[in-house]
Homo-oligomer: A and B are copies of this chain.
C-alpha cells in the first residue's frame, strides 16, 4: 500500500479502541499521525512529523498535528519525551525503555535496562507520594559525533 506506513494491525486496533472508549473520533489525520509515529524510531518533534506527513497528506496542518499529539498523549497512546531542547519530542508508547541523548546532534536512542526497572527505590521516596514512572536519561555524545570531533 504505497503512501501509507505499514504497522501491525493490533496497534491500530489499540488506537481505535482507545479513541472509542474516550468518545473520540477516528479521523484520517489521527490515524496517519499515529501510524507515522509508531513507525518512527527517532522521537520526532511535531514539526518533523508534520513535514513527513505532508508528503502523503499535503493538506494536513501543523496545528492538527499538535492537537492530535496532545490528544493521543492524554490517552496514553504516545509519550512526550523529556529533553533539554525547546522543541517537544514524541514517541509511541511501547515496552519499558530509557533514553540516550546526544548533546551534540540531539539524537535520541532507546535502550533497555531491566535491572533498573526491577530495582527497589530508596526508602525515602515512598514518603514523597505515588510513583508512576521511573525513567533513566543518559546524556553523552554519540559515536557519530565523537568521530566528528577529531580532537
- A115 adjacent to chain B (CB < 8 Å): yes
Tell me the bound Cα distance from A28 to B115 in angstroms: 47
A144 to B127 Cα, complex, angstroms: 11
**Stretch in A10-18, A43-51, A131-139 with 4+ CB within 8 Å of B:** A131-139
Indicate if the CB atoms of A135 and B139 lie closer than 8 Å. yes
How far, in angstroms, from A128 to B108 measured CA to CA in the complex?
11
A residues sitting closer than 8 Å to B (CB atoms) are: 80, 82-84, 100, 102-103, 109, 111-113, 115-116, 119, 121-122, 124-125, 127-146
Query: Known contacts A82-B82, A113-B122; can you find 20 more A-B pairs with CB under 8 A?
Result: A82-B137, A100-B125, A102-B129, A111-B125, A111-B128, A115-B119, A121-B138, A128-B142, A128-B143, A129-B140, A129-B143, A130-B140, A130-B141, A131-B140, A133-B140, A134-B138, A135-B138, A135-B139, A136-B136, A137-B137
Task: Indicate if the CB atoms of A128 and B109 lie closer than 8 Å.
Answer: yes
Q: Contact check, A119 vs B122: say whether CB atoms are below 8 A apart.
A: no
Nearest-neighbour CB distance to chain B for A104, whole angstroms, equals: 9
